[in-house]
Copies of this chain bind each other. A is one copy, B any other.
Amino acid sequence: MGAQQPSRGPAPHGHVTLTQVAERAGVSAQSVSNALNNPDRLAPATLERILATVAELGYEPNLSARALRNRSSRLIAFKVRPSRPDKASLLMDEFLYALNASAVAAGYHLILCHAEGDGGADEIKAYRDLLKKTSVDAFVLAETHRNDDRVAALRSWGVPFATFGRSWDGDDTLAWVDVDGRAGTRAATEHVAAQGHRRIGHLGWPPESEIGQERREGWLEACRARGLETDLQAAVPDTLEHGRQAAHRMLDAPRPATAVVCASDTLALGVLRALHERGMRPGAEVAVTGFDDSPTAALVSPGLTTLRQPIDVVGRQLIQAVENLIAGEPREPQHVLLQPELIVRGSSLPGPRTPAP
Contacts and interface: CB of A to CB of B under 8 A. Distances in A.
Interface of A: 73-75, 80-83, 85-88, 90, 92-94, 96-97, 100-101, 103-104, 109-114, 126, 130, 133-134, 240, 266, 269, 272-273, 275-280, 295-296, 298-302, 353-357
Given A83-B90, A83-B94, A111-B111, 8 more contacts: A83-B97, A88-B295, A88-B299, A93-B93, A93-B96, A277-B301, A296-B296, A299-B300
Contacts of A94: 82-83
Nearest to A298: B85
A275 B301 CA distance: 9
Given A101-B114, A111-B109, A112-B109, A356 B295 contact: no
Given A86-B298, A296-B299, A299-B296, A96 B110 contact: no
Contacts of A82: 94, 97
- Nearest 6 Cβ contacts at the A-B interface: A279-B355, A279-B356, A276-B301, A93-B93, A104-B114, A296-B296
Contacts of A80: 96-97, 100
A111 B96 CA distance: 12
Contact of A109 (B83, B101, B130, B272): B130
Contacts of A357: 357
A54 to B, nearest CB: 23
Given A112-B109, A278-B356, A295 B100 contact: no
A88 B296 contact: yes
A277 B96 contact: no
A280 B82 CA distance: 35
B296 A295 contact: yes
A109 B113 contact: yes
A100 B112 contact: yes
Contacts of A269: 299-301
Contact of A111 (B85, B110, B298): B110
A273 B299 CA distance: 8
A277 to B, nearest CB: 7
21 contacts: A73-B134, A80-B100, A81-B97, A83-B295, A86-B298, A86-B299, A90-B93, A93-B96, A96-B112, A100-B114, A101-B114, A104-B126, A110-B112, A111-B111, A269-B299, A269-B300, A277-B353, A279-B354, A296-B296, A296-B299, A300-B300
